[in-house]
Amino acid sequence: MSFFTKFLVLLLFSFPLFAGGGSIKGKVTDKTTTEALIGANVVVQSEQWGAATDLNGFYIIKNIPAGTYTIKASYVGYESFEQKDVVVKNFQVVELNFELESDFILEEIVVVDKKYFEQKSTNTCKVISSDEIKNLPVRGIDNLIPLQSGVVQDKNIFVRGARSDGTGYYVDGVQIQAGGYEACYSYIKPNAEEYEKVDENVFKESFKTPLSTFAVDVDAASYTNVRRYLTAMQIPPKDAVRVEEFINYFDYDYPSPENDPVKIYTELSNCPWNKDNLLVHIGIKGKELKRDQAGPSNLVFLIDVSGSMEPENKLPLLKRAFKLLTKQLRSDDRVSIVVYASSTGMVLEPTYGYDKEKILDAISHLEAGGSTAGGAGIQLAYKIAEQNFMSDGNNRVILATDGDFNVGISNTDELVKFIQDKKQKGIFLSVLGFGGENLKDSRLEKLADDGDGHYSYIDNFMEAKKVFVNELGATLFTIAKDSKIQVEFNPAKVKEYRLVGYENRALNDEDFDDDKKDGGEIGAGHTVTALYEITLHDIKEINQSQLKYQVIAIKESAINTDEILTVKFRYKDPDGTESKLISQPVLFSSLKEKPGINFNFSAAVAMFGMILKDSDYKGEANLEYVLELAESNLGEDEFGYREEFVQLVENAKRLNHFAGR
């Protein structure tokens, strides 16, 4: 038999290794501390299959023939553990987690003191001797490249010899081969991501422009997306930073409304980043809604299963997130699942919440592959939502994707028009963004805004828990729609003002009273926060010059009042068509020398956002001051979100790019 014939035979027999079979994946942790164990071995007993855990303790063993196996997990200094009778089926994934106990029996070790990084070095260099090359699993010098930090090599079939991706390598304690969930050392390619360039709000003269109007349509996706960059110790794109979304990622301790569905909260004090100015803190608090007070939900999960969704921080994380939501369902809630890739289809017909196992099973079997027919998927999802419409309930499509639409109705304007038409029929759209590198942030934000829903970016499992568990009411249940804020400044008191953020939520002043103009959505228990930087002046400074055909003057009542501005909030009930108005003035006498936690923490977050954007209006803001202000105003911080913010500021300090800021 010729060599070429042998080659073909071997190649043909290698294909079954990649076809069929099932997978086992999970996490290995310390039973006492719950910390991830890095580099633990997980093997299929009596077979030569196994894997080592990554930086986050995760592992996966693929292409296991259907059968029943014993799986063993082991780690140096820990007692090994065997899980027997693990059933593996073709094309299914078995989740198997291990908690190992320390056995406290370790051999003698030698500790060598060595610097991990040379702080003054401008590059990273790895020297490998010829003797070391002989012992490495490579065929030649060019194969050393995949072993270096920042290099990713795709999976390949090798006919003979070892391969460079068969072993996990660590450089100074950092794993450089494929990472797992929430890995902080993965490199993000911002050039492949889409962000809308927005010009910052400027200072406006209150005498010429006394009104400031914007839609209360606040997401938090920008904060979690930028968190992904800072966690990976990378500089986020300036256009990825939307300061109002940073501020509104956090809840604030506002008083709950009594009669109305919302309540206005205000606070006035000195501006932390510009001592010559004042800062107005405006908060809106939505009423809490207990689950038994809310109507049933008709939810359609619209899930992108295209090839771009294969990475661990996309479809695998998405599946974990939707399983969290499924476990929160009530028995009278109803769920359908539509998937889209090269083609579109319904993988779960409308199923009531009491049959959670059926819903969970459908989610577990989702697999990625193909191109992205996003437009076709949206059409089918809305069709199913209409067919199962609940007149007394919450009707919502939840789109989960990286936003990479390339087939079907892919034009953003066409999609927006379609979504707006469906919104008029009472079907809302919430959008969840996953992954990076090809994240279409601006597109997803626009779809959510026009669908009267929120846009959230899910960068890890804890964020999924925040959206689907901790803030479920705000995510799913609307208490006020088409919400708008208009602030009228008293020109006799306020010289100039600047709204911090909200650039792409701005409305024309006349839109505030126009019920045909869309606003934003307030969810149950939801808070919305806005900051205005203002300057004051004396009435004598105002030039009330007379024009030939009209008189421009300030009312005497404006001069004599203590009011510096009035906050007006307009909204509609979830099923209403006519808007309602509530308002509240801000008095100069309410000026606080020492503001509260709400004011200070929101100001710290705003400063951080302006520093990351390199804003022209950041004034004296610097990272040291941000840390000082944030750390002293953490408040109760039930879920640790504010403590995490402090860590992100610390990360930014370590990046030389922000040195001196």
Q: In the chain, where are the structural domains located? A: 20-100, 206-215+234-287+479-658, 291-476
Query: How confident is the model at residue 409, as a pLDDT?
Result: 54
Size (the chain), residues: 661
Structure tokens at 494: 């306020």
Beta 394-401 vs 297-304: how paired, if at all? parallel
605 — pLDDT class (breaks 50, 70, 90): very high
Q: Average pLDDT, stretch 108-116?
A: 45
For the stretch 608-617, pLDDT in tens is: 999 999 999 9
Cβ neighbours of 134 (radius 10 Å): 8
The 8 Å CB, 24+ separation contacts for 649-656 are: 649/608, 649/623, 651/230, 651/231, 651/233, 652/230, 652/608, 652/611, 652/612, 652/623, 653/623, 653/624, 653/627, 654/233, 655/233, 655/234, 655/235
Residue 207 CA to residue 634 CA, distance in Å, equals 38
Range from 70-79, 94-103, 277-286, 382-391 that averages highest in pLDDT: 277-286
Query: How confident is the model at residue 609, as a pLDDT?
Result: 95
Report whether CATH 3.40.1010.10 matches the domain 20-100.
no
Identify whether the C-beta of residue 64 lies closer than 8 Å to the C-beta of residue 44: yes
Query: How confident is the model at residue 252, as a pLDDT?
Result: 94
Identify whether the C-beta of residue 359 lies closer than 8 Å to the C-beta of residue 352: no
Structure tokens at 13: 């027999």
Residue 456 CA to residue 523 CA, distance in Å, equals 14
Query: How confident is the model at residue 343, as a pLDDT?
Result: 67
Identify the CATH assignment for 206-215+234-287+479-658 out of 2.60.40.1230, 1.20.1630.10, 1.10.357.10, 3.40.50.300. 2.60.40.1230
Lowest mean pLDDT among 16-20, 21-25, 656-660: 16-20
Residue 482 CA to residue 392 CA, distance in Å, equals 19
Q: Average pLDDT, stretch 27-32?
A: 89
Query: How confident is the model at residue 4, as a pLDDT?
Result: 52
Burial 588-603 (b: 16+ CB within 10 A, else e): beeeeeebeebbbbbb
| Residue 465, pLDDT above cutoff 80 | yes
487 — pLDDT class (breaks 50, 70, 90): very high
User: Identical fold at 20-100 and 291-476?
Assistant: no
What's 291-476's CATH class? alpha beta
Q: Average pLDDT, stretch 584-613?
A: 95
Radius of gyration of the chain (CA): 28
User: At 280, is the secondary structure helix, strand, or coil?
Assistant: strand
For the stretch 529-565, pLDDT in tens is: 999 999 998 766 666 566 677 667 788 888 889 999 9
Lowest mean pLDDT among 283-287, 357-361, 515-519: 515-519
Q: Any idea which residue has 């960068």 for tokens?
A: 459
For the stretch 399-450, pLDDT in tens is: 988 776 554 455 667 777 888 888 878 888 888 888 766 666 667 777 777 7
Residues 6+ apart with CB under 8 A from 491: 206, 207, 210, 542, 554, 558
Q: Average pLDDT, stretch 631-646?
A: 91
Query: How confident is the model at residue 489, as a pLDDT?
Result: 96
50 — pLDDT class (breaks 50, 70, 90): confident
Q: Average pLDDT, stretch 302-319?
A: 86
| Residue 233, pLDDT above cutoff 60 | yes
User: At 623, is the secondary structure helix, strand, or coil?
Assistant: helix
| Residue 283, pLDDT above cutoff 90 | yes
373 — pLDDT class (breaks 50, 70, 90): low
Residue 389 CA to residue 350 CA, distance in Å, equals 11
Closest Cα partner for 274 from 656, 535, 588, 496?
535
| Residue 12, pLDDT above cutoff 80 | no
Higher confidence at residue 367 or residue 266? 266
Query: How confident is the model at residue 181, as a pLDDT?
Result: 35
Structure tokens at 406: 């390339």
Query: How confident is the model at residue 121, as a pLDDT?
Result: 45
Using a 10 angstrom Cβ sphere, with 0-12 exposed, 13-18 middle and 19 or more buried, the burial of residue 444 is buried
Query: How confident is the model at residue 163, as a pLDDT?
Result: 41
Residue 89 falls in which region: left (phi positive, over 0), alpha (psi -120 to 50) or beta: beta
Q: Helix 597-613 crosses helix 623-631 at what angle (to 10 degrees)?
A: 160
Residue 566, beta-bridge partner list: 488, 585
Query: How confident is the model at residue 191, as a pLDDT?
Result: 54
| Residue 127, pLDDT above cutoff 50 | yes
User: At 25, is the secondary structure helix, strand, or coil?
Assistant: strand
Identify whether the C-beta of residue 58 lies closer than 8 Å to the C-beta of residue 25: yes
Residue 253 CA to residue 240 CA, distance in Å, equals 27
pTM given for the model: 0.68
Alpha carbon distances (Å) from 477 to 225, 474, 574, 625? 24, 6, 9, 38
Q: Average pLDDT, stretch 166-191?
A: 44
Cβ neighbours of 20 (radius 10 Å): 12
Query: How confident is the model at residue 639, as a pLDDT?
Result: 86
* DSSP result, 349-407: EEEETT-HHHHHHHHHT----S---HHHHHHHHHHHHHHT--TTSEEEEEEEE-----S
Cβ neighbours of 298 (radius 10 Å): 24
Q: Any idea which residue has 């639409």 for tokens?
A: 405
Residue 219 CA to residue 455 CA, distance in Å, equals 5
313 — pLDDT class (breaks 50, 70, 90): confident
Mean pLDDT of the chain: 79
Percent of the chain at pLDDT exceeding 70:
75
Alpha carbon distances (Å) from 324 to 288, 318, 329, 469, 502? 21, 10, 9, 7, 31
Identify whether the C-beta of residue 120 lies closer than 8 Å to the C-beta of residue 51: no
DSSP classification of residue 223: H
C-alpha 364, offset from chain centre:
22
Residue 597 CA to residue 483 CA, distance in Å, equals 26
